[in-house]
Structures are given as C-alpha cells and as structure tokens.
Amino acid sequence: MNLKFLSMLVVATALIHLSGCRVVPKQKESPFESSFSTKILSNDAKLFTYSMSLMKPKKIVSRTDYFLYHPSLESVEELLDTKVERMLRFNRYCRSGFVENDRVVLSDYASIKGECNEAANEEDRKRFPNINKPRR
C-alpha cells in the first residue's frame, strides 16, 4: 500500500513540475507595423525611408492594453530610433552611418528619411534594386 501511494505521489509531483515548465510568458509585441524602402540615385546616393504605423486593436480589454496602443511621443520616437538602427545594422544598407533628412513622429505614425554616408557600389545596386511602386 505504501509503495502504491509513493508511486502516485511521485507521478503527481512530476506532473506538477512538468506543467510548471510549460508556462512561457508571452513576449510583449510592438503595436506598430513597419516598412523599409530604399532608392539608389544615378549619382550613387543611397536614400531610405523607414516608417511605422500603429495597428489599431480590435478590442481593448485592459488599462495596460490601452496604454500600449496609445504610446507617448517620446516612446514612439525611441522605438523609431531603435528600429531604424536595428534595420540598417541587419541589412547593412548604410554601412558608415547616415544623415537624417526628415523625421515625423506622431502618436500613431512615425518615419525617418535618410541618406547613407557612403556611396552605392555594384553590390548595393544588386542587393537593393530600385523598384517602382504604384502610387496610391
């Protein structure tokens, strides 16, 4: 009888530990949708635009969610700077930094237009071809 009780206790304890290990906290997602576009001019100047638009939630259920979807201008600007730096580091479009030509920061939209410090080379032209997009 003691052996049966002991084995059930071990199984129950194992199940409790295993179920505790499966709980993974949900990562905080950014409420912004981003886009990045490039343009290389005939004089080899490399231009880019990075923009973020706030995705509207279907339903706000908590106070925390409300503030997540109504960020302050300072937090939007911080996020914009971080995402631009990360994007340019990831895709190596501006290898020597960039000059900011224009910046717009609103609570539901933000963008940076810039020009890379270095001129485009042949590899840049292959990796980042100019694609004409239809205007809306």
pLDDT of residue 54: 80
CB 50 within 8 Å of CB 34: yes
With cut-offs at 50, 70 and 90, classify the pLDDT of residue 75.
confident
Please write the tens of the pLDDT for every residue from 21-67: 444 444 455 667 899 999 999 999 999 999 999 876 666 667 676 66
Q: Supply 106's token pair.
A: 């609103």
CB 62 within 8 Å of CB 86: no
Which residues on neighbouring strands pair with residue 53, listed in sequence order? Answer: 33, 109
Please write the tens of the pLDDT for every residue from 89-130: 999 999 999 999 999 998 889 999 999 999 999 999 999 998
Its pTM surpasses 0.75:
no
A 10 A CB-CB count for 41 gives 12
Radius of gyration of the chain (CA): 24
pLDDT of residue 22: 45
Buried-exposed string 59-97: b where 16+ CB fall within 10 A, e elsewhere: eeeeeeeeeeeebeeeebeebbeebbeeebeeeebbeee
Closest CA to 100 of 77, 121, 124: 77
